[in-house]
Structure 1
């Protein structure tokens, strides 16, 4: 077992220290787009106009599971329907849809969400074009009104797909930013999101890089159990010592 020991040194995060964090992490990690299911979905659309519905469905599949499992579910779904459209999703019988995405977990709930989203989007074909024209917070409100779309799913779509300034927080990022001291002990999702957006002055490229780099760091070094602090290249920025 390990415990978090609070250090006494001053812990101040600003734009420069966050930029240094990005720089240090970039020196040791190469961002492989194929490790992130949302990038796989975007890449599959690279020769055509982006299928926003397909990409949102892909992010839903990644909820409460690994990107690896979400990628497998996405590929199985693509093999079944070729193109993930509202019409094609509605045409699949419930059991076939559940079986196709089962590897991503929560198949009953996710298949239900996919059907509901397909039904809504079949009657709102301009939905994604409309939210693309809104500012980030208004677009976020519209996404959060959809069934099965929570904060993280909405923020992933907004940042990585629509290129709007927000910051998605998954379990890895939540853990790492708390250990680093970027997030205060009482901070919730919204506190952390807005804090990081402000620190990086809404810079899309920096927000995207930090999002993916923190996930990689959380997977490989700053793990939930037995974090590899002796191997951490950003330990001089860390405001907590994990023992």
Structure 2
């Protein structure tokens, strides 16, 4: 089984490519692109809601929906729960797919209600258990669940989104799905939630700048390949 590691792996020399670990990939991205300061939010509730609304749209559209919700509810979970589904759909309409997203938000807020809307109660809960409970909510997929786990709960999880899959393919590691890529990426102990957050942000920013569809150009990472070892 092929696996990618980020620890003190011996670097394999290549005459044609520079072989790097994920730790080194992170350093290269950070050195060139700088810190990204994601996720833009005024509160954990805004972050949580934004993680649902950003599915299949851009942040400009999400911002419009968030401003609507801020004005109407101040992101109070109780106030949002008191909205009718039609009222919620109207407020989040700029984000698109407002029918599905309204149901997902209602599911998320039902989930947070199980721990009295107190995120500190999740500190002792294992990441896998939290992720599993999120994936049981209709409209919450693996990427959204992992964004919540990383950005809201500060857990070191690799977010294997479309930009990550595209970048890793160009760096010599092609995978067919979110789950496949996430399953072979092992973040080293140096990755805490903050660093996992930054890695995701850097990959997405890099992707938007360089990884346009149907292009072989990969910017300043040209000539690099990810370290691949057999378990």
Q: Alpha carbons of 1:127 and 1:150: their partners in 2 closer, same or farther (altered >3 Å)?
A: farther
Q: Which structure 1 segments of 5+ residues have no match?
A: 1-7, 46-50
Q: For residues 118 and 133 of structure 2, what CA distance do their matches in structure 1 show?
A: 9
Query: Are residues 1:140 and 2:131 paired?
Result: yes
Partner of 1:184 in structure 2?
Answer: 174
Higher relative contact order (CA 8 A, sep 6+): 2
Q: Which structure 2 segments of 5+ residues have no match?
A: 1-13, 227-231
Q: Alpha carbons of 1:236 and 1:11: their partners in 2 closer, same or farther (altered >3 Å)?
A: closer
Richer in helix (by share):
1
Please give the TM-score of this superposition, normalised by the length of structure 2: 0.78
Partner of 1:237 in structure 2?
Answer: 224
Q: Alpha carbons of 1:134 and 1:115: their partners in 2 closer, same or farther (altered >3 Å)?
A: closer
Partner of 1:67 in structure 2?
Answer: 59
CA contact (8 A) 2:18 2:225 kept: no
Give the length in aligned residue pairs.
Answer: 212
Q: For residues 106 and 161 of structure 1, what CA distance do their matches in structure 2 show?
A: 23
How far is 1:120 from its partner? 4.5
Partner of 1:79 in structure 2?
Answer: 71
Partner of 1:3 in structure 2?
Answer: none
Q: For residues 74 and 126 of structure 1, what CA distance do their matches in structure 2 show?
A: 19
Query: Are residues 1:28 and 2:32 paired?
Result: yes
CA contact (8 A) 2:103 2:138 kept: no
RMSD: 2.7
- Partner of residue 114 from structure 1, selected from 101, 105, 128: 105
- Partner of residue 160 from structure 2, selected from 169, 188, 203: 169
The worse-fitting range, judged by mean Cα deviation, of 118-127 and 92-101 is: 118-127
